[in-house]
Structure 1
Amino acid sequence: MAHTLIVIRHAKSDWDVPVSDHQRPLAKRGRRQAPPVGRWLAEHDLIPDVALVSSAQRARETWEMVAAEIGASAPQPQIAEAAYTFSGALLLDLVNTLPDASAIAAVVGHNPAVEELVRTLTGQAASLPTAAIAVVDVPSWPAARRGSGRLVTSGRPADGTL
């Protein structure tokens, strides 16, 4: 059974708030960018069974807004400290541990890690600005590795580029 990975870059964060990088919240623009991601996922019947979300405030807020648009079928987030990384290889390690029963999974993270993850899996570059997504098919979670995936689509729902 093929699996589908939805790679989500967090929405735009607020650099004017004097907090640590980890605690930085979404900006007003980010709060406008995130809901269209959830609407797009729902419209395309890409409701994840599991959502691995970086422990950073901006990533958690992004998932909350995405999940609100998906509705009751949205999974509760699995907050992953390890997803607060800028390394695509570390994100791939997380993907490899996803439960096989989950056909669709979302990962909410940061650049450059999310772009590196997509490039590693598919061999294709996908530009992932804030609140952008990439949909990647892989053979299975444990078998997800360099070149094993297929980029289905990528873009930013808020801009209509998807």
Structure 2
Amino acid sequence: MRQLILMRHAKAERQAESGQDRDRPLTDRGRADARLMARELAQRGLRPDVVLVSSSTRTRETWDEMAEAFGDVDLRIEARLYNAEPETIRAFVEELEESAGVLLVLAHNPGVQLLAGDLLVESAASPAILERLEGGFPTGAAAVFQMDAAGRATYDGFFTPKAFGGGAEG
């Protein structure tokens, strides 16, 4: 794997009609932010060839809004990514490190933020970068890492919808 993109789903409604957290849909702002983030990532050459998406409604809808910007990808909906711990997300990443060139994992907090933080610590990232991530991982945000041949991650950017004129926070 050359690059890893860890992304949190876009802004979702507070409740679903079913009452189930897993079924919460995106808000209109969330849909717009997902499209915005896809365009921004693609313009920076961050185009996944494999995408792992949690099975929740909000993550699937986030990907639906993003898909056009990336074209043909190997899409995998994975139920075990729903509210997954960082160790679970890492296991998926490690499983695909030989076959994926650019992997996008679209899941939930706190797992996504915690794994990004773990990767930053392991790569001896600067205190300023660590502080930036500790400040929060808003909906629609993406942490990008370059991966070396040994599977070690190096920080390559943290992008939020707000940084590009979007509005999702929290």
- TM-score bucket (shorter structure): 0.7 to 0.9
- Checking the alignment, whether the CA contact within 8 Å between 2:15 and 2:21 is kept in structure 1 is no
What is residue 148 of structure 2 aligned with on the other side?
Answer: 139
Question: For residues 122 and 135 of structure 1, what CA distance do their matches in structure 2 show?
Answer: 11
Question: For residues 53 and 140 of structure 2, what CA distance do their matches in structure 1 show?
Answer: 14
CA deviation after TM superposition for structure 1 residue 91, in Å: 0.6
CA deviation after TM superposition for structure 1 residue 155, in Å: 2.2
The amino acid that maps onto 1:131 is G
TM-score, structure 1 normalization:
0.85
1:7 aligns with 2:11: no
CA deviation after TM superposition for structure 1 residue 157, in Å: 3.5
- Checking the alignment, whether the CA contact within 8 Å between 1:37 and 1:157 is kept in structure 2 is yes
CA deviation after TM superposition for structure 1 residue 34, in Å: 0.5
SS of the residue 1:120 aligns to: helix
What is residue 81 of structure 2 aligned with on the other side?
Answer: 83
What is residue 105 of structure 2 aligned with on the other side?
Answer: 107
What is residue 44 of structure 2 aligned with on the other side?
Answer: 44
Question: For residues 85 and 121 of structure 1, what CA distance do their matches in structure 2 show?
Answer: 19
What is residue 31 of structure 1 aligned with on the other side?
Answer: 31
Q: Which runs of 5+ in 2 are unaligned?
A: 122-129, 166-170
TM-score, structure 2 normalization:
0.82
Q: 15-24 vs 110-119, which deviates more? A: 15-24
1:152 counterpart (152, 156, 170): 156
Question: For residues 115 and 146 of structure 2, what CA distance do their matches in structure 1 show?
Answer: 13
Aligned residue-pair number: 153
> Going by fraction, where is helix more abundant, 1 or 2?
2
What is residue 117 of structure 2 aligned with on the other side?
Answer: 119
Q: 20-29 vs 92-101, which deviates more? A: 92-101
Q: 42-51 vs 149-158, which deviates more? A: 149-158
Question: For residues 45 and 13 of structure 1, what CA distance do their matches in structure 2 show?
Answer: 27
Percent identity over the alignment is 32
Distance 1:76 1:25, change over 3 A: farther
The amino acid that maps onto 1:139 is D
